[in-house]
Amino acid sequence: MILESLRREIVTYSRKLISSGLTVGTGGNISVYDPESGLFAITPSGIDYYDMEAEDVVVLDMKGHIADGSRKPSSEVELHRIFYERREDIRAVVHTHSTYCTVLATNRMELPASSYLVAFAGKNVRCGEYASFGTKELAENTFRAMEDRYAAFMANHGLITGADTLLRAFDIALQIEFCAKVYVLAKSVGEPVILDDEEMKRMTDRFRTYGQQPHDKERKRGQ
């Protein structure tokens, strides 16, 4: 089975979409790109995440043709593929229908620097222009909204995040949903205080090396 380890990883994180409250039903989608083969694996369309197995995950080439798998891929193939074509720093994409992010997206609002944790995405989270799901127009609109960022809202739709690993892309989705919830609740009782660009630049720089880095693991193996 081509890209078996990535497909198994996608199954694991797809189930976490539900258990973490980042989506409901079969909403949202996940993909991971393998630069060595030039292929990417993506969740299938309309299959319950707890019924999904690794062989249900579809492998596509960069033209969108199926390289392995018998299932129909997610309707949002273009939304994922555009980042692998144009962003060398993104190797995994997570799209969610998380509640508070979708609230802001429905109001077509951005998430400002109301928390230092927003810096996981950048100095803010923009909202892209609306387009129907599954279209190239939606992919282009979302790509523009996520320029120099690792997260964006999709108008009247939800959240998308990207990173160098699926673990990091998923964590960004969790952090931004938390920040969106706090921001919405804070606006209900007052006016949130927004951190300035200088502070967000410091936080963005720090989060680039946040957590355990790959070379740290290699160092431990050599000891």
Cite the active site residues. Answer: 76
Radius of gyration of the chain (CA): 17
Pairing of the two strands 158-163 and 151-154: antiparallel
At residue 178's C-alpha, the angle toward residues 29 and 45, to 5°, is 10
Q: What burial class does residue 27 get, using C-beta atoms within 10 Å of its C-beta: 0-12 exposed, 13-18 middle, 19+ buried?
A: middle
Q: How far apart are CA 14 and CA 207, in angstroms?
A: 24
Q: How far apart are CA 70 and CA 72, in angstroms?
A: 7
